[in-house]
Amino acid sequence: MGDPARIARKLKAPQPMPLTIHDTLQREKRVFEPRDPGRVTLYVCGPTVYDYAHIGNARPPVVFDVLVRLLRRTYGADKVIYARNVTDVDDKINAKAAKEGVPIGEVTARYEAAYLEDMARLNVSPPDIAPHVTDHMAAIVAQIGAIMDHGCAYAAEGHVLFDVSSYETYGRLSGRNLDDMIAGARVEVAPYKKNPHDFVLWKPSKEGEPSWPSPWGEGRPGWHIECSAMIEETLGLPIDIHGGGIDLVFPHHENEIAQGVCAHGHAHEAGAHAEYSRYWMHNGFLTMDAEKMSKSLGNVLLLHDLVQSIPGEVVRWALLSAHYRQPLDWNQALLEQSRKSLDRLYGALHRAAAVESTTDAPPAEFLKAIEDDLNTPGAMAVLFSLSSEIERGMTAGDTAAVAAAKGQLVASAALLGVLQSDPAAWLEGDVPDDLRTEVEALLEQRAAARAAKDWPEADRIRDRLNALSVVVMDGPQGPTWRLKG
């Protein structure tokens, strides 16, 4: 018989909330259970490096960066292996290289470097592994061979095609039925295909295009096979989580499963898909002013351009402001609101700059939100209550409350990948060095003039600061400033 008071206390003690994620395949939220908590594996389809990424392309890496931060916190930093591939063999890459008259490697190196630079501005941590297609040709060729050996692919006219009719549960991820697909097929069918939905595993390269040797002739892989081959070679099967944008569910991920399952001869086993990836996560699409982003509409916003004029942290906040599975509309108001939100949170941290944090753990409400299928809007709401608590504590002189709330705020925000800059520097903004030097000198003169009660001099300095578009905010830690607008 236990002591009733002790039992009551135990019942009330906060239970650790398990992470739940919405699994596209099972179509429900599931408690996340890795195959091996000592080695949690995650693969996200990365960029095709033929041009700068647009702002929509930034949504998956930012969303999955938050997931990885959370997994590392739960299982240990070195227990999570995150792979994000680089597609460096592709028709669009060939076209760009031909247009510029340079080897494909020059195009792919340029845009991969730009991508990594832009990701760094968004505070996206690099993945542990970034497999490149050109480095994994042997594994790709071997996997195609294994699929053929198991009777799930055939060679025809220099191509190798996956035979979709050979895999019983083809269509399961995207909820498509092969018979309906065939009935509704309007695609022009290449004469060498047995079935209109058979997809390319290997194809011949055209004259002058890069090619690799294979038992079916010189050529290059189709798009889908790179991911299933690189997943198997770099992470091993099954992986725990596979992620990407919602547009990848069909055909890319559907085909990945078919390849990954059939390469091992499991085409007729109903549950074999679980031997490829245990969970599937897909982010919703980003629209521009409520329209689809597309080159023909001329509304494609490049991340590379955006982060030249707007702090990456504002962009990151905006990308996380909607739940990842919901559509997100990108517009000026969203950016302004995101900057205001960060200003408010940094403002609270700045006000509490002299108070030492007494914790480095996020509060239970924050974890509850973020572990609920990455509910970032809910998690952000907790950041605002913590900042209000800081403001209240500062006004009331309740230093203990401020010290706790500040530690919780910084720790929570670290999981979202925000609020890690120096608050004073944030509030000043991104300012050219010579202007910063001048403003700082003027602020010192202003302090001296005020101390000496030299009001005409103080007014002169104020006018000069105004002329420079500088807004000065006086606070208990001394003045901070920023540029207008």
Q: Which residue ranges make up the site for Zn ion (CB under 5 A)?
A: 45, 227
d(CA 157, CA 193): 10
Residue pair 199/154 in contact (Cβ under 8 Å)? The answer is no
Beta 40-44 vs 80-84: how paired, if at all? parallel
| CA separation for the pair 60, 68 (Å, rounded) | 12
- Spatial separation of the C-alpha atoms in residues 166 and 179, rounded to whole Å: 13
Interface region with ligand AMP, contact rule CB under 6 A, candidates 106-114, 228-236, 282-290, 419-427: 282-290
Annotated binding-site residue? 389: no
Query: Which CB atom, from 326 or from 437, has the smaller least distance to ligand AMP?
Result: 326
* The one-letter amino acid at 48: T
Residue 285 interacts with which of Zn ion, ligand AMP, none, CB < 5 to 8 Å by class = ligand AMP
Residue 127 binds to ligand AMP (criterion: CB under 6 A)? no
- Of 68, 230, 293, 470, the one binding ligand AMP by CB under 6 A: 293
Closest approach, Cβ 252 to Zn ion, in A, equals: 6
Cβ-closest position to ligand AMP = 245
CB of 294 to ligand AMP, least distance (A): 9
Q: How many CA atoms lie within 13 A of 237 on its CB side?
A: 21
Identify which of residues 24 and 387 has a Cβ nearer to ligand AMP in the complex. 24
- Is residue 415 part of the contact set for ligand AMP (CB under 6 A)? no
Residue 285 within binding range of ligand AMP, rule CB under 6 A? yes
**Tokens describing residue 276:** 């490829």
At position 467, the amino acid (one-letter code) is A
- Pairing status of strand 28-31 against strand 40-44: unpaired
Which residue among 34, 47, 311, 312 contacts ligand AMP (CB under 6 A)? Answer: 47
Q: Is 406 in the site for ligand AMP (CB under 6 A)?
A: no
The candidate with the shortest Cα–Cα distance to 80, out of 33, 128, 45, 125, is: 128
CB of 31 to Zn ion, least distance (A): 26
CA distance 411 to 9: 27
Binding mask 461-480 for ligand AMP (x = CB under 6 A): --------------------
Q: Which of the ranges 99-107, 119-127, 278-286, 364-372 carries the binding residues for ligand AMP, by CB under 6 A?
A: 278-286
In whole angstroms, give the CA distance from residue 171 to residue 250. Answer: 8
Nearer Cβ to Zn ion (45/173): 45
| Shortest separation between residue 50's beta carbon and ligand AMP, angstroms | 9
Backbone dihedral region for residue 116 (phi beyond 0: left; psi -120 to 50: alpha; all else: beta): alpha
Q: What is the 8-class DSSP label of residue 250?
A: I
Q: Restricting to residues 303-362, name those near ligand AMP by CB under 6 A.
A: none
Q: Which two tokens stand for residue 147?
A: 């699929």
Distance CA 239, CA 471 (A): 52
With contacts defined by CB under 6 A, name the span among 127-135, 279-287, 338-346, 395-403 that binds ligand AMP: 279-287
The residue among 243, 241, 324, 242 whose CA lies nearest residue 285 is 324
Q: Is 428 annotated as a binding residue?
A: no
Q: How far is the CB of 300 from ligand AMP (least distance, A)?
A: 9
Q: Is the peptide bond before 213 cis (omega within 30 degrees of 0)?
A: no
Is 262 marked within a binding site?
no
Decide: helix, strand or coil at residue 485: coil
Tell me which stretch binds ligand AMP (CB under 6 A): 24-32, 280-288, 303-311, 460-468.
280-288
> Closest distance between Zn ion and the C-beta of residue 82, in Å?
14
Number of residues that bind ligand AMP (CB under 6 A): 15
* Closest CB to ligand AMP among residues 248, 394: 248
Of residues 207-246, which lie at the interface with ligand AMP (CB under 6 A)?
Answer: 244-245
| Buried/exposed code over 13-44 (b: 16+ C-beta within 10 A; e: otherwise) | eeeeeebbbbbbbeeeebebebeeeeebbbbb
Residue 392, phi-psi category: left (phi > 0), alpha (psi -120 to 50), beta (remainder): alpha
Spatial neighbors of 102 by CB under 8 A, at least 6 apart, are none
252 is in an annotated binding site: yes
Question: Which of ligand AMP, Zn ion, none does residue 293 bind (CB under 5 to 8 Å by kind)?
Answer: ligand AMP
Min separation Cβ 110 and Zn ion, Å = 22
Contact pattern for ligand AMP over residues 59 through 78, marking x by CB under 6 A: xx------------------
CA 197 from chain centre, in angstroms, equals 31
Interface with ligand AMP (CB under 6 A), residue from 33, 100, 180, 247: 247
45 is in an annotated binding site: yes
Q: What is the dihedral of CA 341, 342, 346, 348, to 10 degrees?
A: 10
Q: Does 57 bind ligand AMP (CB under 6 A)?
A: yes
Are 479 and 472 in contact by the 8 Å Cβ rule? The answer is yes
Binding residues: 45, 227, 252, 256, 295
Can you give the binding site for ligand AMP, defined by CB under 6 A?
45, 47-48, 56-57, 59-60, 244-245, 247-248, 283, 285-286, 293
Binding residues for ATP: 295
